[in-house]
């Protein structure tokens, strides 16, 4: 970013939005991606780390509210009742120094295929608050990820909060990678709501890394509704998960291997989410 003229560190969200409204402004969260940018159009960097309201984890009556500058380490250490799949995904993000830097808002905004956090946020039906000078709007993670999030963020807009409804009994997340700190070959998450009789009343399942963007598996969700967990059901939804899925080319593995990963781990994460229900009520 050789043309940068100013580095701004505002104290309030209002100051952030004032600066972001100026041409050539770029917001910086954890900085793990922006530090590599060579965009000559960037004239000013707006550092979000000085805004206390963006670092909070709050519990409301029916939702968890995450500030965009909450880090993966914050998610691991908080005493707030955040869903298990979110803690698991935060733990799966690279190494401790990286987890200390990577933020929730940054993970959503960059939209890289291997990014871990969007998958559980999709499986939790999260909603994102996006602000600009003089305006704000809410958009579901599912809608935000219909295309690359950069195409849904206008100039001057900044992700400020993430809302997670507290409506799911249980959840789970699985990352499949060559090593603990490697980029994911597959990310998958599930959240389920069980009836008193143990039937799956409602389930959300999301997948990433094998696809260009994280996405929900609507056909799998529909197949789970009203069903009781069984080996036959898990085999069925594991196979269903691959059907119609547009796999991303990965030099590390073949498309056949990717398909097998999806089949196995979609079934496995659903099984874990259901079995975790007793611990997560």
- Structural domain boundaries in the chain: 6-49, 52-165, 170-280
Q: Does the pLDDT at position 2 exceed 90?
A: no
- What lies within 8 Å, CB to CB, of 23 at 6+ separation is 43
How high does pLDDT run on average in the chain? 93
Q: How do residues 117-134 score in pLDDT, each as one tens digit?
A: 999 999 999 999 999 999
What whole-number distance in Å separates Cα of residue 195 and Cα of residue 253? 39
Greatest extent of the chain over all pairs of C-alpha atoms, in Å? 63
Q: How do residues 47-75 score in pLDDT, each as one tens digit?
A: 999 999 999 999 988 899 999 999 999 99
- pLDDT at residue 281, as a whole number: 45
- pLDDT at residue 277, as a whole number: 87
User: Can you tell me the mean pLDDT for 204-220?
Assistant: 97
Architecture per CATH, domain 52-165, reads as 2-Layer Sandwich (3.30)
- pLDDT at residue 219, as a whole number: 97
**Strand 135-140 vs strand 127-132: parallel, antiparallel, or unpaired?**
antiparallel
What whole-number distance in Å separates Cα of residue 56 and Cα of residue 198? 35
Q: Does the pLDDT at position 278 exceed 70?
A: no
Q: Does the pLDDT at position 247 exceed 90?
A: yes
Q: How confident is the model at residue 114 (pLDDT cuts 50, 70, 90)?
A: very high
Domains 52-165 and 170-280 share a fold: no
Using an 8 Å Cβ cutoff, are 173 and 85 in contact?
Answer: yes
- pLDDT at residue 279, as a whole number: 59
Model pTM? 0.93
More confident site: 179 or 43? 179
Answer whether CATH 3.30.390.50 is correct for domain 170-280.
yes
Using an 8 Å Cβ cutoff, are 259 and 276 in contact?
Answer: no
- What lies within 8 Å, CB to CB, of 154 at 6+ separation is 132
Using an 8 Å Cβ cutoff, are 266 and 220 in contact?
Answer: yes
- pLDDT at residue 1, as a whole number: 62
Through-space distance between the first and last CA atoms of the chain, rounded to whole angstroms = 48
The two structure tokens encoding residue 222: 């529909």
Dihedral (C-alpha) 162, 138, 115, 220: value to the nearest 10 degrees? 100
- pLDDT at residue 35, as a whole number: 67
User: Can you tell me the mean pLDDT for 227-246?
Assistant: 96
């Amino acid at each position: 970013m050789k043309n940068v003229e100013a580095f701004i560190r505002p104290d309030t969200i209002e100051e952030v939005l004032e600066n972001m409204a100026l041409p050539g402004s770029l917001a910086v969260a954890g900085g793990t991606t922006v530090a590599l940018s060579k965009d000559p159009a960037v004239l000013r960097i707006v550092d979000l780390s000085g805004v206390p309201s963006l670092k909070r984890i709050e519990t409301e009556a029916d939702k968890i509210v995450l500030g965009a500058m909450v880090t993966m380490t914050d998610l691991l250490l908080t005493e707030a009742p955040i869903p298990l799949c979110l803690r698991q995904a935060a733990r799966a993000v690279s190494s401790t120094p990286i987890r200390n830097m990577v933020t929730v808002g940054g993970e959503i905004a960059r939209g890289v295929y291997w990014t871990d956090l969007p998958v559980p946020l999709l499986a939790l039906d999260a909603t994102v608050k996006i602000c600009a000078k003089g305006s704000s709007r809410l958009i579901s993670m599912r809608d935000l990820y219909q295309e690359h999030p950069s195409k849904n963020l206008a100039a001057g807009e900044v992700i400020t909060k993430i809302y997670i409804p507290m409506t799911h009994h249980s959840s789970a997340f699985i990352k499949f990678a060559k090593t603990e700190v490697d980029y994911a070959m597959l990310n998958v998450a599930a959240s389920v709501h069980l009836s008193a009789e143990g039937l799956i009343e409602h389930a959300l399942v999301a997948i990433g890394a094998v696809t260009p963007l994280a996405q929900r598996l609507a056909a799998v969700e529909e197949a789970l509704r009203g069903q009781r967990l069984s080996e036959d059901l898990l085999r069925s939804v594991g196979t269903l998960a691959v059907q119609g899925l547009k796999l991303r080319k990965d030099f590390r593995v073949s498309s056949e291997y990717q398909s097998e990963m999806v089949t196995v781990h979609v079934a496995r994460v659903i099984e874990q989410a259901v079995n975790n229900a007793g611990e997560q009520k």
